[in-house]
Each structure stands twice: as C-alpha cells, then as structure tokens.
Amino acid sequence: MSRRLQIPVFSSAAEWTAQVPARRFNVPEIPPAQLDALSAAVGRPVSSAAEGVAEIVRQVAVEGDTAVIGLTAALDGARPETLELGRTEWEAGADSLGVEARSAIDAAAARIEAFHALQLPRVLSLGELELRPEPLRRVGIYVPGGRARYPSTVLMNAIPARLAGVGEVVMVTPPDAEGRITPAVLYAARLAGVSRIFKVGGAQAVAALAYGTQTIPAVDKITGPGNTFVVLAKRAVYGIVDIDGLAGPSEILVIADDSANPTQIVADLASQLEHDPVAWAVLLTDSAELAATVASELSADQLANRFSAEVADLRAAAVVVESLDQAVELAADFAPEHLELLVRDPDRLLPSVRCAGMVFVGAESPVPMGDYVAGSNHTLPTGGAARFNSPLGVYDFYRWTSVVRLTPGTAAAVAPVGIELAKIEGLVAHQRSLEVLMERLTAEEAG
C-alpha cells in the first residue's frame, strides 16, 4: 500500500466550505495514457475525453454496428460473436446462480417493487382539462462493469420501468474478458422484466441506445450509472433521448452527535469510498471528540484504504460545526446523494432537511441498506444535483400529455381573454384564430 488516508478535521463549517464548492459537478479528465488509447480507438488525435466521446457518438450514429464492434474491441479488448445475448445463453446463465444469491435478489426485488408500486400515477383532471400519463415505449438501462458487477442496478432501473408499463426495456452491459455476463446480473434482469440484453458498454453503448443500430434498437430514455465515458456520452445524446441524470462520484454526508457509534460512522463512510476513489465521505458533527475519533479510525480503516493511492483526501473529512442545525444547513448547501442522521433526536432535524437524494434516519439505516434492500431507489442525484433532481422512480418512465376539451360555454367565456392577451403580445394570427372562434360561436347561438 503506497500511503494511508489522511483525513482532515475542519474546526468550523466556514473552514470546510471555503475549500469545497457547493456546485461541484464536473467530469474528471482521463490520464494521458487513456487519452492516447482513446485517440487510437477513434482513429484520430483527441485532446480530451469529451472530444473522444463526441467522436464515438458520431461514428456509432453513422456506422451503427460496425462502429460499436470496432470500438468495443479497441477500447475494451472484447469482440463478442454477437452483440445481443441469446435467450438460451441468458436463461442458462440465470439458472446457474446459486440458491442463496437468488434468494437475496428475490428479497430485494420484492421490497423495491412494493415501494415503487406506490408511485403509479393517475389521470389528473379539472373540468375540461386533463393531464394523462403515458408510459415510454422503449427505454435503455446501462449496467456498469469495471470494478464490480451490479445486479442491484438492474433491479433499481428495470423494476420501475416495468411497473410504469414501458413497452420494452433494453439493457446494455460490458461483458467480461470471455464475453460473458455474470449470472447474478442475468438473473436480476430476468426477474426485473428486462426484454433484451446487449453485450456492450462504454460510450458506444450509450450512442447505440440513442441512435439505434442494425442490432440495437433506439430508445426514448437512458438510465443507469457509468464511468467518465458513459457520463459524457449521456450528456452528448441528451435531446436525442432523455436521460435520468449525470452520475458523478458517490457521496455520503453523516450528521452525528456524541451519541453516535464511531465504528458505524467509519464503516458507513468507507462503504461509499468503495464505490469510487473520488467519492465524498464527510462527517458533520458538533462533537470535536467524535470528529477526531472518526478521522483517526477512518485513516486506519483497511477497507477505506483499499484505493488509498487514488483517494482525494479532502473528499473524506470530518467537520466540527457549531450546532446540529448548522450541520443541516451545511448539508442543504452541499446537496448530497446520501445523508445520514445519527443523532439522539433525528425527527427534530428531519423536517428541516432539504436537498438530499436520500435521507437515512437512525443507526439502523446505514446507506448500504438503501443501496440494496430498503426498497427505495439507489439511483440518486450527485454533484449537488439534489438541489433540483430526485431519486429514480416509476414517474421517470412516463411522459405526460395535456388534453383540452372546452365546451362552447367555456370557450365563449375565455376566448375574449385570449384575444386581449394576443393583442398585448402582438400575435395577430393568434388573435384572428380566437376571433373566428367567437364569430362562429355567436352565429351558432343566434341560429
């Protein structure tokens, strides 16, 4: 191990906020060696990851499967015989999963489905006006590979889509070196209602979902997290398709007082560093003693140090605040993905909490419960996006259509208002349309 984590302890909120921007979303640049590989893969020099991803998206949009296959071979070293996973291979892989793993996935899926079923919308109506929910026709979910495999991501993305009534749920995920997909992911996909699976990842997978290829169908929305290339690709295709958001490094803020268990806090902070070496793992506390203890124990924690050569120390910190109320205000400004309340009276603080992707109340609700089995969705806004974005849910897989069906009486009553507004705005054709309507209604009433 090259070094140990050095966890700073900030003596005041002001000291920490001076170094940590609240609006902090950014896509990290890739190292030079990776940039060289990207340039080689796209066939021309590129000066940034964003430029390389833009070229990947362009090639896939123009060349379809040919580009997807070539880029996958160049970037991932994989050349699957077919892009789509055959149903026989899918079923065999899912069936090979052990009983204990199946039971765990079944239990998590049941809780996720029960909670998300509460989110089903209904037609909203007021007199002659309606707002009608319509499920998206086809969505694509991205399931990462890389450091780990994520059956939980399959459940969190596919179950809400199925409950919404989406016509087709298409999944893309990078295979392993042998061109296979882990059985846990295949079992979760079958259970959650995925329609088709394609063995491709990275920016080329996102581009294929957005534009469609000879094999991979175009979708209406793309959800699911991914690496730098995936995030940049989702940003590049937004507008061609909808996306759930731009996932940055994982984040956990813990608000704790001296009643909290420091060992649990360390374990919870380390759980998010495991996702990404540049994850945020921050304790906000009114106890200087607790801050010092947690910083010391986290610095020595074996799990937290697994990626210590890469961890950005400032992102793992303990901050001493004047009061728990100040901690809540600080958390609202930071807008974290995950917020834990480990205090004597969390229900006093909870009504004041704003701008958090998910709030975990009490010592029995650590963040990994939400990652796996609580039932809430773990696809959450990061990078401060909790100021304006929400957890993924059934509601994300609908579009809404307004319906206007005015009666002659209502039309006659409100058309003069519209005519006056058209005059104010100088839109003479709008004015004329409503005047024609009024003339017709008057004639019909007279006749």
What pLDDT does 1 receive? Answer: 41
The residues annotated as belonging to the active site are: 337-338
Provide CB contacts within 8 A for 227, sequence distance 6+: 144, 146, 202
Class for domain 87-247, per CATH?
A: alpha beta
Q: CA torsion sign, 16 to 17 to 23 to 29?
A: negative
What pLDDT does 44 receive? Answer: 96
pLDDT tens for the chain, 447 residues: list them.
456 788 899 999 999 999 888 788 888 788 899 999 999 999 999 999 999 999 999 999 999 999 999 999 999 888 888 999 999 999 999 999 999 999 999 999 999 999 999 999 999 999 999 999 999 999 999 999 855 689 999 999 999 999 999 999 999 999 888 888 999 999 999 999 999 999 999 999 999 999 999 999 999 999 999 999 999 999 999 999 999 999 988 999 999 999 999 999 999 999 988 887 788 999 999 999 999 999 999 988 887 777 655 555 568 899 999 999 999 999 999 999 999 999 999 999 999 999 999 999 999 999 999 999 999 999 999 999 999 999 999 999 999 999 999 999 999 999 999 999 999 999 999 999 999 999 999 999 887
Cα Rg, the chain, nearest whole Å: 26
Quote the pTM value. Answer: 0.94
Domain residue ranges in the chain: 9-24+248-374, 32-76, 87-247, 406-446
Reported as a single tens digit per residue, the pLDDT across 108-143 is: 999 999 999 999 999 999 999 999 999 999 999 999
Identical fold between 9-24+248-374 and 87-247: yes
Q: Give the Cβ contact number of residue 308 at 10 Å.
A: 18
Q: Are 119 and 393 in contact (CB under 8 A)?
A: yes
Provide CB contacts within 8 A for 150, sequence distance 6+: 143, 144, 185
* Domain with residues 9-24+248-374, CATH architecture: 3-Layer(aba) Sandwich (3.40)
pLDDT, mean over the chain: 94
HEC string for the chain: CCCCCCCCEECCHHHHHCCCCCCCCCCCCCCHHHHHHHHHHHCCCCCCHHHHHHHHHHHHHHHCHHHHHHHHHHHHCCCCCCCECCHHHHHHHHHCCCHHHHHHHHHHHHHHHHHHHHHCCCCEEECCEEEEEEECCEEEEECCCCCCCCHHHHHHHHHHHHHHCCCEEEEECCCCCCCCCCHHHHHHHHHHCCCEEECCCHHHHHHHHHHCCCCCCCCCEEECCCCHHHHHHHHHHECCEEECCCCCCCEEEEEECCCCCHHHHHHHHHHHHCCCCCCEEEEEECCHHHHHHHHHHHHHCCCCCCCCCCCCHHHEEEEECCCHHHHHHHHHHHCCCEEEEECCCHHHHHHHCCCCCEEEECCCCCHHHHHHCCCCCCCCCCCCHHHCCCCCCHHHHEEEEEEECCCHHHHHHHHHHHHHHHHHHCCHHHHHHHHHHHHHHHHHHHC
Listed residue (404, 430, 275, 397) closest to 338, CA to CA: 275
Provide CB contacts within 8 A for 238, sequence distance 6+: none
Listed residue (149, 202, 151) closest to 172, CA to CA: 202
Q: Are 190 and 146 in contact (CB under 8 A)?
A: no
Listed residue (263, 187, 231, 207) closest to 49, CA to CA: 231
